[in-house]
A and B are shown apart, each in its own frame.
Chain A
Amino acid sequence: MKYVDEFRRGDVARGLAARIAEAVQPGRHYRLMEFCGGHTHAIARYGLTGLLPAAVQLIHGPGCPVCVLPIGRIDSAIELALQHGAIVCSYGDCLRVPASNKLSLYKARALGGDVRMVYSTADALQIARDNPARQVVFFAIGFETTTPPTALALKAARAEGLRNFSVFCNHVLTPPAMQHLLAAGDAVQLDGFIGPSHVSTVIGSAPYQAVADAYAKPVVIAGFEPLDVLQSVLMLVERINRGEAGVATQFTRAVTTDGNATARAVVAETLVLRPTFEWRGLGQVPQSALAIHPDYADFDAELRFGLPYRHVPDHRACECAAILRGQKQPQDCKVFGIVCTPDNPLGSCMVSSEGACAAHYHYGRFTAPQEQPA
């Protein structure tokens, strides 16, 4: 497959792995956080950890969009479907995230809720056009990558006067989360970041500069293909050896300093910063999420349905919070693979294949010999 196979070549991977092994200095640790779930997935899917020397440790970050969504937000989406009778549209992974009362959007569907999986906001708009007598809510989640399509849907809905359409906006921002992780009192020791890939095609590489400078860490913006990840690890190891902080881009085929100006403009027109937002695992993070701009208030599901936000604590045994902060590995969690499995997830990290727990469960758990036989 052209333009894909080139980034998955085994011989090149082995060459990069050898160069990383050479570059690693004795007695030194390289604790690298891969921010994105896409990286976590690629690392697990291609068995990249096995190609790296022991001194290079990859630590999963909070960049899996469904993992960081707090339970209270899913509860609200379920409420829209079950109590308000709205058609709730969302991206696939979101449907399986566990919420309160052993529910999920999937299970709400079995209870009679009209919950539909869509591939894009255009599908949600079409559902609204096709069902003029019904309220149709797009449950918007994700980082800066999925934000511009939500912004365009808001513009389209207003232009068409699509009165039965609204957006329940839960979009979150990457740089404030990175800053929050580094500033936390219980921060895990990190030597560098494998920086966001698709997010950076939208916002560019510039927004990470302040964090990288303030905490004197190298950030290398990396693509999601396995060779991208390995090359970025090499770039980080070299920078750590030189004591060099700042932002560099490995994913040069798609990321510029300023990103996509058109996408940023449409987001700025339709969405505004929230003063604070709860992230699963990170708690309240100031200025880390977006709400709908007052100009588009007519299409704001939170206002239309008067949705109050309620904080709901995670299950007591669930270690998602520590895993999302990079403090624990999936296999450190007592319920991993026993009570919490992809078929019956207790925590959000076990849902999406980008979640650290699901990625480890799907691809890597044979490396954990302490596990019970299936």
Chain B
Amino acid sequence: MSHPTRKLDITHGRIDMTHGSGGRAMAQLVDELFAPAFRNDYLAQGNDQAILPPPGGRLAIATDSHVISPLFFPGGDIGSLSVHGTVNDLAMGGATPLYLSAGFILEEGLPLADLKRIVDSMAAAARDAGVRIVTGDTKVVERGHGDGVYISTTGIGVVADGVQLCGSQAQPGDAILVSGTLGEHGMAVMSQRENLGFASPIVSDSAALHTLAAALMAASPGLRLMRDPTRGGLATTLNEIARQSGVGMQLQEDAIPLQPAVRAACEFLGLDPLYVANEGKLIAVCPAAEADAALAALRAHPLGRHAANIGQVVADPHHFVRVRTPFGGERLLDWLAGEMLPRIC
């Protein structure tokens, strides 16, 4: 392909409308910035589509759009997040993630240095997770019509025979496990918001969960389901499962793992950490008889060291998720209503 003779000025350059016009500038952006980072045989074919070999099992497909602000946060950035989000959606169904597609909506004015940092981080996250980014698309919108960059990824994975996980399979008596401390992603992002900025040691937990999920599946053959508690946090995810399975849940509040810094930050912002987003945690429901083995498997994995058994599935026609407080009282853990807003006094 013929390009302008001068190379992209990654250090000082910015995205402009020509990068989305379909002309030479766009081809140069793809060739000099995206292709080297994501390099693989399918992408190298340079076609409008990637043609992939038969995967040898049932296909899983998941899609996720990422619109996070700020683009960079402690523990990650929109690039790594866009890989982890989709990989985890596949992994929660028991799939081994294989391929990703990536759509970029870039805002005019975005520094190329930022874009390169994001793309490199995305490539590293994909490499670490063992998935390949095999096809993509780039569009540019006028300044003021985007938030720097939006990334949409779609993932394809393969599910082994016999694996049958589903949100409708929780049964009364089952154990509810979480793979670690909650709320770190949401609070790490919130600590960086310009009107809020507070100093904290909280780092996003953003991570690919498929190897943790595989270890769990191996330890608990009767595993009912896995979910990653992203937006809306533990509370929302458990309510989704309760509704889907037609059951209730009974949790023990002091069993739910939380980092002291997350508790403290939530305390002064008037937020409940059980509603705060995670990007590297999973919730599992398994038969009570397999709970100890499942927990041991989670704890043996670096991403599951603080895993805990937090309660059990119960029969309840109202599908309530109830929490027993350390006080001996009981309360409801309800769906998140509206956007999570801090209380004022």
Q: B317 interface residue, CB < 8 Å from A?
A: yes
Does A117 belong to the interface (CB within 8 Å)?
Answer: yes
Q: Is the CB of A45 within 8 A of B267?
A: no
Top 5 A-B pairs ranked by shortest CB distance? Answer: A47-B329, A342-B337, A92-B341, A91-B344, A10-B326
What 0/1 readout, one digit per residue, does chain A (327-364) give for beta carbons within 8 Å of chain B?
Answer: 00000000000000111000000001110001001111
Task: Give the distance in Å from the alpha carbon of A119 to the alpha carbon of B330 in the complex.
Answer: 31
- How many angstroms between the C-alpha atoms of A364 and B263 in the bound complex? 23
Residues on the B chain within 8 Å of A106, using CB = 338
A96 within 8 A of B: yes
The residues in B between 294 and 332 inclusive whose CB is less than 8 angstroms from any CB of A are: 317-320, 322, 325-332
What is the CA–CA distance of A122 and B326 in the complex, to the nearest angstrom?
38
- Cβ-closest chain A residue relative to B334: A362
User: Of residues A51, A143, A343, A363, which shows the largest number of chain B Cβ atoms within 10 Å of its Cβ?
Assistant: A363
Known A-B contacts A341-B337, A342-B338; the reply to A1 vs B343 at CB < 8 A is no
| Sample of 9 more A-B contacts, CB < 8 Å, known A8-B326, A10-B326, A51-B328 | A37-B345, A46-B329, A47-B329, A95-B341, A96-B338, A198-B345, A341-B337, A362-B332, A362-B337
Q: Let me know if A20 is at the binding interface, CB within 8 A.
A: no
Report the Cα distance A138→B341, complex, angstroms.
Answer: 18
By a CB distance below 8 angstroms, the chain B residues around A51 are: 327-329
CA distance A217 to B90 in the complex (A): 62
Is A204's beta carbon under 8 Å from chain B?
no
The digit string for A133-157, where 1 denotes a CB below 8 A from any CB of B, is 0000000011101100000000000
CA distance A123 to B195 in the complex (A): 7
Contacts known (A341-B337, A373-B319); A119 close to B345, Cβ less than 8 A: no
Is B264 interfacial (CB-CB < 8 Å)? yes
Q: Are B343 and A119 in contact (CB under 8 A)?
A: no
Quick check: A374 and B318 within 8 Å, CB to CB? yes
B342 within 8 A of A: yes
Asked if A373 and B195 make an inter-chain contact with CB atoms under 8 angstroms apart, the answer reads: no
Count A-B contacts at CB 8 Å: 108
Q: Is the CB–CB distance between A373 and B317 below 8 Å?
A: yes
Which residue among B267, B329, B343 has the maximum number of chain A CB atoms within 10 Å of its CB?
B329
The answer to whether B331 and A45 touch across the interface, beta carbons within 8 angstroms, is yes
Interface residues of B, count at CB 8 A: 28
Say whether B325 contacts A47, CB under 8 Å.
Answer: yes
Bound form: Cα–Cα A49–B325 in Å: 13
- For residue B242, give the distance in angstroms from its CB to the closest CB of chain A: 9
A92, B339: Cα distance in complex, Å:
10
Q: Does A226 contact B (CB under 8 A)?
A: yes
Name B's A-contacting residues (CB within 8 A): 195-196, 243, 260, 263-264, 267, 317-320, 322, 325-332, 334, 337-338, 341-345
User: Closest CB-CB distance, B332 to chain A, in whole Å?
Assistant: 5
Q: Measured between C-beta atoms, what is the minimum distance from B263 to chain A in Å?
A: 5
B330 touches A47 (CB 8 A): yes
CA distance A363 to B345 in the complex (A): 19
Please name all residues of chain B whose beta carbon is closer than 8 Å to the beta carbon of A118 when the two chains form the complex.
Answer: 195
Binary flags per residue of A59-94, CB closer than 8 Å to B gives 1, else 0: 000000110000000000000000000000001111
Does A13 belong to the interface (CB within 8 Å)?
yes
Question: Do residues A146 and B325 form an inter-chain contact, with CB atoms below 8 A?
Answer: no
* Cβ–Cβ < 8 Å partners of B331 in chain A: 44-47, 363-364
A48 within 8 A of B: yes
A366 touches B196 (CB 8 A): no
Q: In this assembly, does A243 line the interface, its C-beta being within 8 Å of a C-beta of chain B?
A: no
- For residue A117, which residues in chain B have a CB less than 8 angstroms away from its CB? 341
- Nearest A residue to B264 via CB reads A1
CB <8 Å contact, A48 and B329: yes
Whole-angstrom distance between the Cβ of B105 and the nearest chain A Cβ: 21
In the complex where A1-B260, A118-B195, A374-B318 touch, is A365 in contact with B344 (Cβ < 8 A)? no
Knowing A4-B267, A363-B332, A373-B319, say if A142 contacts B344 (CB, 8 Å).
yes
Q: Which residues of chain B have C-beta atoms less than 8 A from A354's C-beta?
A: 343, 345
User: How many Å lie between the Cα of A364 and that of B318 in the bound state?
Assistant: 13
Whether B327 contacts A46 by the Cβ 8 Å rule is yes
Chain B residues within an 8 Å CB radius of A366: 318, 320, 322, 330, 332
A38-B345, A353-B343 given; A371·B332 CB < 8 A:
no
Decide if A343 touches B329 in the complex (CB within 8 Å): no
Asked whether any CB of chain B lies closer than 8 Å to the CB of A50, the reply is yes
User: Which residues in A have their C-beta under 8 angstroms from that of B342?
Assistant: 91-92, 119
For the complex, is A274 an interface residue (Cβ under 8 Å from B)?
A: no
